[in-house]
Structure 1
Amino acid sequence: MEEHRNQSDTDALLEELLRETEEHTPAEPDQPPVPEEPGECPAEPVSDPEPEPESDMEKTQSFQSVKHVQEEHAEAGQEKHAQEHSRKRPVANSAKRKHPKQSHPSAKHGRVHAQGKKRRRTNLPFVLVWTTIVVAISVVLSVGLLAIGKDMYAVDKDTTEKIINVPENATTDQIAQMLYEEDIIRIPRMYRLVSKLNGSDGKYVAGEHVVSASMSYETLTSTLTKPVKAETVRVTFPEGITMLDAAKLLEENKVCEASRFIYFFNIADYNYDIFKKMPKSSDLKFYQHEGYLFPDTYEFYVGMDPELVCQKIFMRTNEIISEGKLEDLDMTYSERMEELDISLDELMTLASMIQREASSVSSMKLVSSVFWNRLNDAETFPRLQSDPTSKYVEDVIKPNISVANDAIYEAYDTYKCIGLPAGAICNPGRDAIEAALDPTDSAFYYFCADTETGEIYYAKTDAEHEANLEAIRNHTKPSDNLDAEAGQERPDEDDDAE
């Protein structure tokens, strides 16, 4: 019974499958009827033979065949549906579906490899940035180390010698700063380190030492910790000395040749404040730096380099001008120059005239007042009319100038030029400089001196001045000689004739 029921179920399933197959199988087109020829009898319909009953095996095979056909039909339907769906989508998506996903292990490896490439492409800018930073730091460090090495070992540095004056009990920091300010070294911190490693700290010898930027740091520490062993000579430059006479004095004491000293002194340009205030060279100046050789006693080496001689003198002059102070006015030289509205060169020129005109320190301020009164009334007194300026032209310029130059002669002669001469006519001392900055308040416009007694006579008018000159010539004392406290009145214009 049960076998019969199972057989019935199987038959019903096969029939249902066959029915579905027929429904999905496209029907063949109807064949047109074949016309019958006349005279022929119509053909009798041929009946299909009755099918023989199928066995269980045949039914099973049939079921499997139908199932296979249905699977193929289903796959064909799916492909057709996919093709229709792809026509509706963009081309890009269609292109993607042309390569269906693969389940093969190599496909998975390809995806992993592609993702790795993508990650590497994403990290590339970061790697480039870090590489650039590392290279830049390396270059900077290399350049820095090269600069330090070149400075420490004085590679390609200036060979000009300079004088360094080491003060008593100077520290390494102070000496390093001095060397830095003189352009001997560029890295004070490294010099301090070398000094410490060499055991030079606390061993520096006070006094003057000759050094140059071409010395290595080790050589500098060795030089500055040893006393200078050389023959020295003391030379005194008196107040009012000319550069020409100073050069002769140096040569006489075997310090250096006079001509070389004059050459280097006039082209000098050191890192001192006075050089920042000096005007540029002038074609009307005979000696460019006449007036800047401060009169004092100096100690030089025998056979010393003339450039070092000049540096030592300028160092002293710079010290006097930069640190000078007028005690009565409680003002520095620079402050007073600014108040009087005069340049450093004008100050030294005026001071040189005062130095050569005044016979004593007490008369310098009164002589200064005469020059200032004339300068402040240039319309009435355009010329200063100082005899020493004319003498400088005759005694210094003309005998030593290579080609005669009337323009230079007139620029120095205050009987011909307007106002101050083109440059200083000697090298003034401290008293003359301070007299030029702080003159006595007076009404004098003239003065003359008795060369035998050194006494100076002052006058407010030209008539008084001529009377003083006549008295000197006659060896009589002028009756109208006034002291510094008199003559406070400004002379009338009618009495200003020269």
Structure 2
Amino acid sequence: MSEKSSLIDQWKLNLQERKKEAKQVRKIVFILLIVFVFLTVGALLGAYSYISSALEPMDAADENAVAVEIPIGSSVDGITQTLEDSGVIKNAQVYKYYLKFNNETDFQAGTYNLTPAMTLSEITESLKTGRVYHEPLFNVTIPEGLRLEEIGDIIAENTDYSQEEFMEKVTDETFINSLMEQYPTLITEEIKGENVKLSLEGYLFPATYPYYEENPSLEDIITQMVDAMNNNVAPYVDLLPGFTEGDYTGTDADEPNVMTVHDLITMASLLEEEAAATTDRAMIAGIFYNRLEEGMPLQTDPTVLYAKGEWQERVLFADLEIEDPYNTYQVQGLPPGPIAAPGATSIEAAINPENSEYFYFLTSTEDGAMYYSETLEEHERKAEEFIYSVNDEE
């Protein structure tokens, strides 16, 4: 056999080997593809089965009632987790997506009589309509924008505690420290700032609180209100401008362009006192932030009255000269702390202000309408038209 024939035979042999290897590779790829398809289909079927099961009642045969308490100000995450922990639903995460997909909101606080046999639709309807397990013995309603002393008056009207006892408790150092331990994200060392008048001012959430016992303790009453504030502030904490995620101690409070939780509640309290209507809050928040950015004083009248400690219908020119850290006509930046209890709308406006070029606003003394201006000259013209002229007519 010639050398050339030997090379041809070797080439044919190599070709046959490559064909054999290629066939084996195709076979392996085909097998892997089949396995992948089966695994994918299996995973999809498993996920479908899991979600379908989670959307069904926990136990269709179990009609035994379970008392489930939904605290005031609870978030959707908190509600769904409470229901799962109580054995009423199978999966909190699936139920949360169920609520989001169906655009279900506006749940009411209370103690509910729910059973594992209830469908998610039935549970949702109960939470929306407020069908509770048992009626409260009494309710206490705290309106938005009240100071601690005013909240104490309402507590005194509805319970056996006096306003003085209430004020003694909200200023008790030991009790305040216990709240700081219980709510470290909400209540930080900033509430003990040198110029803060009352540590818990603004930290008691305004709402209607149900009570199921005749004589709840003052600690429980106050803690319930702080807990509601915590629930309402929590969704916004990680959205605070310039704030380091997880750092809620107020250590960045003096850094520029940084807002702490204490700052958020303080700003929200100013909006609560200034805004005549819900729609005004975001715009006024934007104006306040514009002033802060330009180094202008906030010059908001409610802080003057808080500094003065006397509550009157109008702020006088002489009041603007009061030397006090809370008087935003005399000092720049936010006051040392909140001046009242802000509601949910004001808290949201403080974190989501309306962007504008305005730096000034005023409220008409005739009809309460709000007017906004970009310049001081424009503001003064509107003040002459909508405030001073109306006062002159009177």
* TM-score normalised by L of structure 1: 0.44
Determine the structure 2 residue equivalent to 1:489. Answer: none
Q: CA deviation at 1:394?
A: 2.8
Output the amino acid matched with 2:185.
I
Instruction: From the CA coordinates, give the structure whose radius of gyration is larger.
Output: 1
Q: Kindly indicate whether residue 265 of structure 2 is the aligned counterpart of residue 265 of structure 1.
A: no
**Aligned equivalents of 1:439, 1:306: Cα separation in 2:** 36
Contact 1:333 1:437 (C-alpha < 8 Å) held by counterparts: no
Aligned counterpart for 2:239 among listed residues 332, 335, 340: 335
CA RMSD of aligned residues (A): 3.4
8 Å contact from structure 1 (residues 353, 424) kept in 2:
yes
- The answer to whether structure 1 residue 299 and structure 2 residue 213 are counterparts is no
Residue 255 of structure 1 deviates from its aligned partner by 5.0
Query: Aligned residues, how many?
Result: 245
1:473 is aligned to 2:377: no
- 2:228 maps to a residue whose letter is R
Query: In percent, how many aligned pairs have the same letter?
Result: 27
1:453–1:230 distance in 2 versus 1, CA, 3 Å: closer
The equivalent of 2:229 in structure 1 is 317
Structure 2 CA distance, aligned partners of 1:467 and 1:292? Answer: 38
Which portions of structure 1, spanning 4 or more consecutive aligned residues, are displaced by more than 6 angstroms?
163-166, 228-231
CA spacing shift, 1:303–1:474, aligned 2, 3 Å = same
Q: Which residue of 1 aligns with 2:199?
A: 288
* 2:266 counterpart residue number: 349
Q: 5+ residue gaps in structure 1?
A: 1-162, 173-205, 208-227, 325-331, 399-407, 477-498
Contact 1:256 1:305 in 2 (8 A): no
Give the SS at the match of 1:235.
strand
Is 1:394 aligned to residue 311 of structure 2? no
Q: TM-score scaled by structure 2?
A: 0.55
Inter-CA distance 347–461: structure 2 relative to 1 (3 Å threshold): same
CA contact (8 A) 1:448 1:456 kept: yes
* Structure 1 contact 389–413 (Cα < 8 Å) conserved: yes
Q: Deviation at 1:335?
A: 2.3
1:363 is the counterpart of 2:280: yes
SS of alignment partner, residue 272 of structure 2: helix
Secondary structure, counterpart of 2:325 in structure 1: helix
Q: Which string of whole-angstrom CA distances, capped at 9 and with x for unpartnered residues, describes residues 376-428 of structure 1? A: 011xx2x1111111122234599xxxxxxxxx961111111221111111111
Deviation at 1:444, TM superposition (A): 1.0
> Measured at CA, do residues 169 and 374 of structure 1 come closer, stay the same or move farther in structure 2, by a change above 3 Å?
closer
Is 1:452 aligned to residue 357 of structure 2? no
Distance 1:273 1:373, change over 3 A: same
- Which residue identity does 1:474 align to in structure 2? S
Q: Give the drift of 1:257.
A: 2.2
- 1:42-441 residue pairs with structure 2 within 5 A? 170-171=85-86, 232-266=137-171, 267=173, 268=176, 269-270=178-179, 271-275=182-186, 277-300=188-211, 301-322=213-234, 324=235, 332-338=236-242, 341-378=258-295, 381=296, 383-395=297-309, 410-441=324-355
Q: Do the aligned partners of residues 455 and 410 (structure 1) sit closer, same or farther apart at CA in structure 2, a change above 3 Å counting?
A: same
Inter-partner Cα distance in structure 2 for 1:338 and 1:302:
46
Q: Corresponding residue for 2:378?
A: 464
* Deviations, residues 132-172 of structure 1 (Å, cap 9, x unaligned): xxxxxxxxxxxxxxxxxxxxxxxxxxxxxxx9979567459
Where structure 2 has 5 or more consecutive residues not aligned to the other structure, the ranges are 1-68, 72-78, 88-110, 113-132, 244-256, 313-321
Structure 2 match to 1:179? none
Residue 241 of structure 1 aligns with an amino acid whose one-letter code is: L
Amino acid in structure 1 at the alignment position of 2:346 = A
User: 2-side partners of 1:252 and 1:444: how far apart?
Assistant: 43
Cα distance, 1:365–1:280 mapped onto 2, change above 3 Å: closer
Using the TM superposition, give the Cα deviation of residue 462 of structure 1 relative to its aligned residue in structure 2, in angstroms: 1.3
Q: What does residue 443 of structure 1 align with?
A: 357
CA–CA distance in structure 2, aligned partners of residues 456 and 276 of structure 1: 33
2:140/2:208 contact within 8 Å kept: yes
In the alignment, the residues of structure 2 paired with residue 264 and residue 386 of structure 1 have an alpha-carbon distance, to the nearest angstrom, of 30
Q: What displacement does 1:278 show?
A: 4.7
